[in-house]
Amino acid sequence: MAIIKPFQALRPKPGLAKQVASRPYDVLNREEARAEAEDNPYSFLHVTKSEIDLPAEIDVHNHDVYKKAGETLQHFIREATLLQEEKPCYYIYRLVTPARSEWGGNGRSQTGLVCVSAVEDYFNGVIKKHEFTRPEKEKDRIDHMVTIKAQTGNVFLAYRDVKEVNFLVNDWITSHNPVYDFIADDGIKHTIWIIDETLVIKSITELFQTKIPDTYIADGHHRAASAAKVSRQLPGNEHAKYFLTTIFPAGELAILDYNRVVKDLNGLTTEDFIKKLATDFNVEKTDSSFSPKKLHQFGMYLDRQWYILTSRQGTYKNDPIGVLDVSILSDNVLDKILGIKDQRIDKRIDFVGGIRGLGELEKRVNNGEMKVAFSLHPVSIQQLFDIADSGNVMPPKSTWFEPKLRDGLLTHLL
């Protein structure tokens, strides 16, 4: 069963929460992070992307980058920009998206519990995974955590709804005022409540230990793997035996599409490429950009023309992995025709989160950076659970969750 604990979060002085809160380190490159934090000395990007405060030529994995992050974190603590909670608490984190087209049209909210989860659950399979991780990305976060002695990156977990947990969370929200409540520059509303009553804390802990046999990594495989390895490097550190997580009931979540762009057609002409596609797909032109409305259907943008690709019966497997659209595209197009064998390391392919819209796919093809783009139907939460339960992994970059949790609002000190 899932072992979670309350913790003494390092968090912003209430009046500075909006300025401190920053987008996750791994959704911004150096230039984007520098621009975002340029006029904001309180931005947590100065900790998570500390290369923005060093000369442009320095390698982002240089030890001086991690050292600078630690110095900035200590500066924030000394200046009381960040304060540590007096006692271990749980926290409720609600995100509300604006009613805009890129969010599906209607505004929606999702509410989760912020806690620390047992590293041992990661090793023994109570915390289930659905992706492989890359060693160089793990090392980056390991070096960051060990140097600054804190976990700044939140691991996004999901679990099957438990009505008793939902009741406790909703009851607390309706009867208590939040400590933070602000709308970020991108329109997303972030609200956090502190659960500090001993009996409620005890009830939540026991519910997870008795009602929730598994949790699932939705977003943050590298952060989780890194935290697990740090715990092995610091065997005497009790804090390192747990890592920062926000756990959402499945009913609160929606997965967005995660699309692909490819640099070339593997030596084929457009005509030959489409002929090869016709073996496994029904291929038809469409006059407008196309986002699939059902499983086993794909959009393709090539030579300023959109196409609809529909998988033919019998051209894909029906096991939990083979039936995924990301697997069908991988097997029948990327590998079979375009020669992309390992999407994790092949430089000819890139991934575009659905939040960027189909216009981003068109832009990257039209400017000549990429040759062809594919839009996919999102993976469902149930598919994610089924694959993790089976012990399998999805192809790389199969799921995209929005909205993203903000860094800096709740940090776990080691």
SS (H, E, C) 282-295: EEEEECCCCCCCCC
Give the range of the structural domain holding residue 126, as residue numbers without chain letter. Answer: 4-255+402-413
342: domain CATH number?
A: 3.30.1760
Tokens of residue 208, six digits: 């997870």
Q: What is the pTM of this model?
A: 0.86
- pLDDT the model gives residue 262: 98
Q: What residue spans of 314-357 are helical by DSSP H?
A: 325-329
- pLDDT the model gives residue 100: 63
User: In degrees rounded to 5, what are phi and psi of residue 31?
Assistant: -65, -40
> Per the domain annotation, does 53 fall within a domain?
yes
Same domain flag for 165 and 280: no
CB 287 within 8 A of CB 349: no
Distance CA 212, CA 210 (A): 6
> Per the domain annotation, does 388 fall within a domain?
no
- pLDDT the model gives residue 103: 53
> Per the domain annotation, does 386 fall within a domain?
no
Same domain flag for 125 and 14: yes
From 25-39, 160-174, 272-286, 383-397, the region with the lowest mean pLDDT: 383-397
CB 70 within 8 A of CB 148: yes
Give yes or no for residue 104 having a pLDDT over 80. Answer: no
User: Total domain count for the chain?
Assistant: 2
Same domain flag for 190 and 41: yes
The CA-based angle 268-274-279, given to 5 degrees, is 110
Quote the distance between the C-alpha of residue 410 and its chain's center.
16
Same domain flag for 286 and 197: no
Same domain flag for 241 and 281: no
Dihedral sign computed on CA atoms, order 366, 368, 371, 375: negative
Same domain flag for 229 and 103: yes
Report the mean per-residue pLDDT for the chain: 93
130: left (phi over 0), alpha (psi -120 to 50) or beta: alpha
Amino acid at 352: V
Same domain flag for 174 and 290: no
Same domain flag for 64 and 151: yes
Same domain flag for 176 and 193: yes
Same domain flag for 140 and 288: no
The per-residue DSSP string of 228-283 comes to HHHHHH-TT-SGGGEEEEEEEEGGG--EEPEEEEES--TT--HHHHHHHHTTTEEE
